[in-house]
A and B are shown apart, each in its own frame.
Chain A
């Protein structure tokens, strides 16, 4: 019998067919060439519904190679349902090695967090983005927001920050704080907490963003300027954990989760599960460095 190699596998390597992968890679190259600019792409059908991480999955599957080591986190945790399912899927489709270890991974897909541990060169971060348009809150029409980006007309965004300050005495944006990339485009940071935003500035790793439902890709190349929006007298600041600390490690220089224990008491715990494990095993993981964190530690 003639062995038919082409049809012996039910799926192509990494599930998506080669021509679609090529399309996504080309769009990614464009996104990297224009930091912060949203590139429209095809967003093909996936075995999960759009809006459940398809954007991140598209990017991951389009760029993953056989030698890659894959890590995926959901809200900082390697063990949450979304992360487990997608890890399983990527592993089945590519047979790539998967890991929990941030240092070991070459490709990290994430939802809502950047790992606490310092990222290396030749690591790639892939974000699942629900809403890629930072201006959507102030302008609902797509053709207008595109025009606003094109002309760098961001006054409405600034007024909304001003209004937020006037109303509440602070810029009330918890997750997804808008940043200016390379002094040009305002970009949605996918809903990462403010804690992670300074870590994007001059990051050694490549950051790729995929919004499957909205069909947009964008990117921050390594060593790119990323500045959170702030006024001269109303500054950006990270979450304040001065009064709380992780109940397992007694540390407060990492992003903390609020945890209600069985007896009803409230404790805090480090959100990044791999970082927490490494500290408990006394491996001394090296953290990102940024002025906000230094101030907290001082």
Chain B
């Protein structure tokens, strides 16, 4: 796949999220240099600031950092779960990438969410509706993309569950009766139901036991290779990042401190914080 400066899929510029009232020096007095994301003047919290990056078709981008570094905030901003404070982002399949999709109407945001994006949360309860069956959860995503044929919905849902190795027999069961790994796989099938070009994975393997983790990671890698989806993988676990991603951003206190090829960052980290992360890798 061609990756040049013209061929981006997602372009993010100066994305910022601040909780509370920011002062004039809020951004210059927070960040990794000050080892804090709380503004000393106003007490506002800079969840993430000044985020710039491009993502190319078929690429997997890792975002790594300690808890509270703003990595989840970043994907939640892009998935409209949170309202940005500042910044712009463009998505190629939405109006040829000419309109900042963070500032469109709610209807259009929902269109983007249903047709162009997928999200897998750490906790399946955030991504799935536990009052609906697992088939119903996938159906919701398909219905939102204007599929009103029950037969076709069920066909699609069972092929998705097949792909993610959830027994199709359990399609009409509630996800609350599933194991954690199965719930996570149902969530993945829901996220990829409409073949989105871009998928966000937010700490997908945290909280699963090691063998299930490996299976879920295998699944994600397979899906990525089969369908060529671009992904943003958020994790504090460097082994997940190493296994899945091509390129990595290292975040600390709401800022990107280092970015580059994953292998490069793991072999030869430049920023002291990245060095600390890599050296603490078991």
Assess whether A151 is in contact with B172, with CB atoms less than 8 Å apart: no
Assess whether A166 is in contact with B148, with CB atoms less than 8 Å apart: no
Q: How many A-B residue pairs have CB under 8 A?
A: 46
Q: Which residues of B contact A160 (CB under 8 A)?
A: 132
Q: Is the interface of B mostly helix, strand, loop or mixed?
A: helix
B133 proximal to A (CB < 8 A)? yes
B95 proximal to A (CB < 8 A)? no
The count of residues in chain A whose C-beta lies closer than 8 Å to any C-beta of chain B is 17
Q: Which residues of B contact A152 (CB under 8 A)?
A: 107
A202 proximal to B (CB < 8 A)? no
Assembled-state Cα–Cα distance A231/B149 (Å):
6
Give the residue name and chain of the B residue nearest to A147 (CB): B106
Give the residue name and chain of the B residue nearest to A152 (CB): B107
Assess whether B172 is in contact with A162, with CB atoms less than 8 Å apart: no
Give the residue name and chain of the A residue nearest to B147 (CB): A232
Interface string of A221-238 (1 = CB under 8 A from B): 000000000011110000
Assembled-state Cα–Cα distance A162/B172 (Å):
11
Q: Which of A155, A156, A232 contacts B149 (CB 8 A)?
A: A232
Interface string of B130-160 (1 = CB under 8 A from A): 0011011001100110001111011000000
Q: Which residues of B contact A151 (CB under 8 A)?
A: 106-107, 110
Assembled-state Cα–Cα distance A202/B135 (Å):
36
CB distance from B228 to the nearest CB of A (A): 27
Given A151-B110, A155-B144, A167-B172, A162 and B149 contact (CB-CB distance below 8 Å)? no
Assess whether A158 is in contact with B106, with CB atoms less than 8 Å apart: no
The count of residues in chain B whose C-beta lies closer than 8 Å to any C-beta of chain A is 19
Give the residue name and chain of the B residue nearest to A162 (CB): B139
Interface string of B108-127 (1 = CB under 8 A from A): 00100000000000000000
Assembled-state Cα–Cα distance A49/B139 (Å):
42
Assess whether A165 is in contact with B150, with CB atoms less than 8 Å apart: yes
A258 proximal to B (CB < 8 A)? no
Assembled-state Cα–Cα distance A127/B151 (Å):
36
CB distance from B114 to the nearest CB of A (A): 8
CB distance from A167 to the nearest CB of B (A): 7
Assess whether A162 is in contact with B136, with CB atoms less than 8 Å apart: yes
Interface string of A6-22 (1 = CB under 8 A from B): 00000000000000000
Interface residues of B in 139-185 (CB under 8 A from A): 139-140, 143-144, 148-151, 153-154, 172
Interface residues of B in 209-247 (CB under 8 A from A): none
Given A151-B106, A151-B107, A162-B153, A231 and B136 contact (CB-CB distance below 8 Å)? no
Q: Which residues of A contact B132 (CB under 8 A)?
A: 159-160, 163
Give the residue name and chain of the A residue nearest to B153 (CB): A162
A240 proximal to B (CB < 8 A)? no
Given A155-B143, A158-B143, A166 and B136 contact (CB-CB distance below 8 Å)? yes
Give the residue name and chain of the B residue nearest to A163 (CB): B136
Q: Which residues of A contact B148 (CB under 8 A)?
A: 158, 231-232
Q: Which residues of A contact B129 (CB under 8 A)?
A: 156, 159
Q: Which residues of B contact A158 (CB under 8 A)?
A: 139-140, 143, 148
Q: Which residues of A contact B107 (CB under 8 A)?
A: 151-152
Assembled-state Cα–Cα distance A162/B136 (Å):
7
Assess whether B149 is in contact with A159, with CB atoms less than 8 Å apart: no
Q: Which residues of B contact A162 (CB under 8 A)?
A: 136, 139, 143, 150, 153
CB distance from A151 to the nearest CB of B (A): 5
Q: Which residues of B contact A289 (CB under 8 A)?
A: none
Interface residues of A in 150-207 (CB under 8 A from B): 151-153, 155-156, 158-160, 162-163, 165-167
Q: Which residues of B contact A232 (CB under 8 A)?
A: 148-150
User: 6 tightest CB-CB pairs across the interface, nearest first?
Assistant: A232-B149, A155-B144, A159-B140, A158-B143, A163-B136, A231-B150
Q: What are 20 A-B pairs with beta-carbon distances under 8 A?
A: A151-B106, A151-B110, A155-B143, A156-B140, A158-B139, A158-B140, A159-B139, A160-B132, A162-B139, A162-B150, A162-B153, A163-B133, A163-B136, A166-B135, A166-B154, A166-B172, A231-B149, A231-B150, A232-B149, A234-B150
| A interface residue numbers (CB < 8 A to B) | 151-153, 155-156, 158-160, 162-163, 165-167, 231-234
Q: Assuming A163-B136, A166-B135, A231-B150, what are 15 further A-B pairs, CB within 8 angstroms?
A: A151-B106, A151-B110, A152-B107, A156-B129, A156-B140, A159-B132, A159-B140, A159-B143, A162-B153, A163-B132, A166-B136, A166-B154, A167-B172, A231-B149, A232-B149
